[in-house]
Chain A
Amino acid sequence: GAGVSQTPSNKVTEKGKYVELRCDPISGHTALYWYRQSLGQGPEFLIYFQGTGAADDSGLPNDRFFAVRPEGSVSTLKIQRTERGDSAVYLCASSLTRANTGELFFGEGSRLTVL
């Protein structure tokens, strides 16, 4: 597609459940980022992939959060044993190279609500 695609756009789950959020970046973009945005706040960095490897996962809040990008394209953010505090919009972005050379292209986000 022309832009970054994220699915699902909305996800409602119960506390303790497992959730997967998918990101399909712009074709040819080697860098992929996950951010989390709470209401009224700016995006908070979670993890950065360069190709297939997680080059920086310093933003993942705890070991319930995990992300993969097995073929260097589509990425999946996985959240185990969800908690109400995980409720937020999860944003994916891609760029042609690394952020320090240019702009990020964001998807529309996946809104996660944990009841």
Chain B
Amino acid sequence: SQQGEEDPQALSIQEGENATMNCSYKTSINNLQWYRQNSGRGLVHLILIRSNEREKHSGRLRVTLDTSKKSSSLLITASRAADTASYFCATDAWGNKLVFGAGTILRVKS
């Protein structure tokens, strides 16, 4: 079963615009991670935010975590065509595995 649910399912924006994706989850977590997957490829880790953190930055990426609402958001600023991919949140609920959501498909038009 998948714990995380991403919203929206698909997002289409123009190059240079910001892209925001949201993730909701159900149980208490140790950390939450975001991954990117280009079509037909494996997943690539983007960023990890721990349960005691509220915001984290990495380059053009900004992640927030609200444990009271059990939600996270991923913001990609100044998007590029190369950002076109599927984005997944994954939660570590103090167990042995990461549980992934169904993902958001991002298309950046040049």
Contacts and interface: CB of A to CB of B under 8 A. Distances in A.
A and B interact = yes
Instruction: Give the size range of A's interface with the partner.
Output: 20 to 34
Contact of A48 (B30, B41, B96): B96
B14 to A, nearest CB: 25
Contacts, number: 63
29 contacts: A33-B97, A40-B102, A41-B2, A41-B102, A42-B4, A42-B102, A42-B103, A43-B43, A43-B100, A44-B2, A44-B100, A45-B97, A45-B98, A45-B99, A48-B96, A50-B96, A56-B96, A59-B97, A91-B43, A93-B43, A99-B97, A99-B98, A100-B31, A103-B45, A104-B33, A104-B43, A105-B45, A106-B43, A109-B41
A98 interface: yes
Interface string A43-71: 11100101000011001000000000000
A83 interface: no
A86 interface: no
Interface in B66-99: 88, 92, 94-99
Top 3 closest pairs, chain A to chain B, by CB: A42-B100, A103-B45, A106-B42
B30 A103 contact: no
Interface of B: 2, 4, 30-31, 33, 35, 41-45, 48, 88, 92, 94-103
Contacts of B4: 42
